Chains A and B, each alone.
Chain A
Amino acid sequence: MEFPRIEPLGEAAWLVRFADRLDPAANHAAIAFRAALEADPLDDVEETASSLASVLVRVGGNAAKVERALRIRLGQTDWDQAPIEGRRRWSIPCAFGGEAGPQLGEAAEMAGLSPDQAVEEIAATPVDVLALGFAPGMPYLGFLPEYWDLPRQTGLTPKVPKGALVVAVRQFVLFDVEAPTGWRQIGRTRFPCFDPARDPAVALRPGDEVRFDPVADLDWIAGHMGGAVVEAVP
C-alpha cells in the first residue's frame, strides 16, 4: 500500500500514516511532519500528535478542507529526510540487573549477549524518543539493533514499578507508573517522565536522544529529575 496515507480517525480527526509497521524512516517522518504542523498550523486544526509511524490531526472545523491542506503539506518535502528542530540529548542514570532489572539475564540471552555485554552495549548506544504514550509522558525509545527484536512475553508481568526500563521489539519503554506489561524489565531509573506539578509536566519530546548511564545503585541518585542531565543537540 501507498504511504503516506490519510485515513479518517473518528469523524473529527485524520491520521497521516507513514507506515503500518515499525520503521525508523517512518518514525522520523511522523515526528518531522508533526513538528512542521505545530510550527506553521493549518486552519481548523485543534491538535496534532505523533506516534510511532503516524500523525494525529484533530479537526475543529471543515474536515475536507483540512485533508486537502494536509495533502499539500505532505507533498512539500521528503519528510523522511526533513530535519527535526529543537532536539535535546538526555543522560539518565539507570541501575541494570538484580532487583532493578530482574529479567536482564533472560532478555540478554534472547539477544545473544551476556548480561555485561548487554549493559555495555546499551550504555554506549543512544536511542531516540520515538513516541510518547500509554501513560502521560512515557517514552517509546529506539531503535535497538535487530537482535533485540524480542517478542513480548505471552504472560504479563503483573506489575513493574515506576521507573522500570523494559525491552521488546527493538525498543525500550520507560515506565512512569506501576503497570502490568508483556515487556521484560532490565533496569530501573528515578526519572520522572510526568509530573503534573512541574512545568512542563512532560519531560521528553519525540525526537529527543536518550542515553542510559549504568549506576550500581539508585540509592545514590539525588535531584528531582532522577539525576538526569540534558543538553541541546547542536
Chain B
Amino acid sequence: MIVLRSCGPLVTHQGDGHPGHMGDGLSRAGFADVRARQEAAALLGVAPEEVGALETPGSPLEIACEEAVTLAFVGAPMEVAAEGRPVPWHASRRVGAGEVLRFRPLGQGVYSYIAAIGLTGPDGTDSAHLTAGIGRALESGDRLSVEDRAQPPERRLTAAPDRFGGGVLRCVPTPQTSLFGDEVARFEAVSFTRDRRGNRQGIRLDGEGGFATEKQLTLLSDFVLTGDVQMTGDGVPYILGPECQTTGGYPRIAHVIAADQPRAFQAPPGAPLSFRFVSLEDARAARPRSPGVEPLVRDPRDIPDLGRYQLIDGITDGRGDEGRS
C-alpha cells in the first residue's frame, strides 16, 4: 500500500481512463499527459495499460510506502526528497518499505505523475473523472494498492523531455475550420499564452482579438474531441482536455494532433502556445517513438539503509531498452 500522508487539492488517480463511452456522453479521462504514461511504462518495463499513477496538478504531496515498490516519476518535474535526500525526476526508484517521499512543484509544466505497476485508486477505483462524478480527488490518509509482483530495477529516461513550457502545437483542420475563412491564417500567426483558467476539461488561451464566425450560434451540436480548439461565443479559444464534453455546438477551428496534446496540457499559465496546420498524413505519421530508458546508477552513499533493499535481482545487460530496439 502507498499511504498519502499529506495531499494538496485536485490530486487524482489516473490510468487508462474510460475509453469506449463517447456514445454515452462520457469522455475518456485518464492521464492528461499521455506521453508521461508511455514514459512510466518504459521506466517500469511494462505496457502502458499496466501503469496507474497519482496525477498532481502541482499540488504538494507526501507519501509513505508500506512495502518495497518501484515508482516512476514522470511528467512535470517536481522536487522529490526521500528522507531529506534529493531523488531524480524522469526516472524510477526502488522505494524501501517504510520510506517517506516528499514532492514539491518546481513551476515547470502542469501535471506530475507518481506511477507504479498496477497502482489503483482508493477502493480499487480507476481514473477519476471529476467532471462526470466518477471517483474523487485524493485526500490525506487515502491508501492506494500496487500490484504484488517482482519490482523492476531503477531506470531513467535517456533524454529529459522538454514539453513543459509551451511551444508550437501541430494541428489538423476540423469540419468547421473553413467557417472561419481568413481568420484561420491569423489563428496560425498569433502567439497565444496559456491563461490561468484551465483544468482537465480544457485550457483557455489569450491572444489578440477574438476568432468569431458568423455561423457561431446556429451550428448543430456534434462530437468534440480532446485536443479540439473550440471557440466560445465571444471568440475565445479553449483547447479541450481529457474530461471535455463529448458533444458541443461551438465551432472548432483546429484539432491539436495526439502527439502534441501532452505539450498543450503541460503548458503552465503564461507559457506561449501557437499552432501550425499539418496534413492528415503528417499527423498520422507523427506518432512519437517509445521513450528511451537506461539503467539508473545510484551512488551508494545516497542510500541510507542498504539492508532495506534487494540488491541482486533486476540485473540488465546495461544497454537499456534503446539498445534493443
A interface residues with partner B (beta carbon < 8 Å) = 7-13, 15, 17, 19-22, 34, 46-54, 56, 58, 63, 131-138, 140, 177, 194, 196, 201-202, 206
Please state if B172 and A133 are interface contacts (CB–CB under 8 Å). Answer: no
Quick check: A52 and B23 within 8 Å, CB to CB? Answer: no
Q: Which residues of B contact A17 (CB under 8 A)?
A: 175, 222
**B257 with A51: CB separation less than 8 A:** no
Interface centre among B19, B220, B280, B284 (most CB of A within 10 A): B220
Is the pair A46, B21 in contact by a Cβ cutoff of 8 Å? no
Is B25 located at the chain interface by the 8 A CB criterion?
yes
Interface residues of B in 13-34 (CB under 8 A from A): 19-26
The answer to whether B132 and A56 have CB atoms under 8 Å apart is: no
If A49-B22, A50-B23, A194-B132 touch, does A13 touch B225 (CB 8 Å cutoff)?
Answer: yes
Q: Which of B212-259 contact A (CB under 8 A)?
A: 220-223, 225, 227-228, 245-247, 255, 257-258
Contact at A196–B132, with CB atoms within 8 Å? yes
Q: Is the CB of B220 within 8 A of A8?
A: no
Known contacts A13-B225, A136-B132, A137-B25; A53 and B220 CB within 8 A of each other: yes
Asked whether B20 lies within 8 Å of A46 as measured between CB atoms, the reply is: yes
Identify A48's interface contact among B23, B26, B133, B134, CB under 8 A. B23
Closest A residue, CB atoms, query B19: A47
In the complex, which of the residues A8, A9, A10, A46 contacts B19, with contact meaning CB atoms closer than 8 Å? A46
Interchain CB contact (< 8 A) of A202 among B24, B134, B245:
B24
B1 shortest CB reach to chain A, Å: 24
Q: A8-B280, A19-B220 are in contact. List 11 more A-B contacts (CB 8 A).
A: A7-B175, A10-B257, A11-B255, A11-B258, A15-B223, A49-B246, A52-B222, A58-B22, A136-B21, A202-B21, A202-B24
Q: Kindly state the separation between the CA atoms of A56 and B283 in the bound complex, as whole angstroms.
A: 19
Q: Judge whether B145 is part of the interface by a CB distance below 8 angstroms.
A: no
Is A132 in contact with B222, judged by CB distance below 8 angstroms? Answer: no
Residues of B within 8 A of A34 (CB): 23
B221, closest chain A residue (CB): A52
Contact of B280 among A11, A47, A49, A135 (CB under 8 A): A11
Could you tell me the distance between the alpha carbons of A12 and B257 in the complex, rounded to whole angstroms? 9
Asked if residues B172 and A8 are in contact (CB atoms below 8 Å), the reply is yes
A137 with B24: in contact, given A11-B280, A12-B284, A49-B246 (CB under 8 Å)? yes
Binding site for A on B (CB under 8 A): 19-26, 131-134, 172, 174-175, 220-223, 225, 227-228, 245-247, 255, 257-258, 280, 283-284
**Which B residues are in CB contact (< 8 Å) with A56?**
22-23, 223
* B25 x A135 contact (CB < 8 A): yes
- Return the contact of B222 from the options A12, A48, A51 (Cβ within 8 A): A51
Known A-B contacts A52-B221, A54-B222, A54-B223; the reply to A10 vs B255 at CB < 8 A is yes
Q: In the complex the two chains form, what is the Cα distance from A52 to B245 in whole Å?
A: 15
Cβ contact within 8 Å between A132 and B280: no
Q: Provide the residues of chain B in CB contact with A132, threshold 8 Å.
A: 23-25
Asked if residues B223 and A9 are in contact (CB atoms below 8 Å), the reply is yes
Question: How far is it, in angstroms, between the C-alpha of A137 and the C-alpha of B132 when the chains are bound?
Answer: 10
> In the docked arrangement, what's the CA distance between A111 and B171, Å?
44
Q: Which of A11, A53, A137 has the most CB of B within 10 A?
A: A11
Q: B220: which A residues are within 8 A, CB to CB?
A: 19-22, 52-53
Are B258's CB and A12's CB within 8 A? yes
Which chain B residues border A12 with CB–CB below 8 Å? 258, 284
Q: Assess whether A47 is in contact with B20, with CB atoms less than 8 Å apart.
A: yes
Verify B133–A15 contact, CB threshold 8 A: no
> Closest Cβ of chain A: how far from B15's Cβ, in Å?
16
Return 8 A-B CB contacts under 8 Å, by A number: A10-B257, A17-B222, A49-B223, A52-B222, A63-B280, A134-B247, A135-B131, A196-B133
